[in-house]
Amino acid sequence: MLTIWSAARSDPLEAAMRSVVGNCTAASHEVALGPRAETYWLYVSRR
């Protein structure tokens, strides 16, 4: 399993992971950083 955390959505990263590993799931995660709401992304590939 390969998991990459990103502070921004990245279609090129998702495409690269699909190309190398053969699959990729992108999932957004809403978090609160003090008073700020942020969205982080996890890109997960499994063999």
pLDDT at 24: 98
> What are the start-end ranges of the E strands in the chain?
2-6, 25-33, 36-45
Q: Which amino acid does the sequence have at 37? A: A
- pLDDT of 22: 97
* pLDDT tens digits along 2-46: 999 999 999 999 999 999 999 999 999 999 999 999 999 999 999
Contact (Cβ atoms closer than 8 angstroms) between residue 13 and residue 25: no
Residue written as tokens 């957004």? 28
Q: Where are the domains of the chain?
A: 2-45
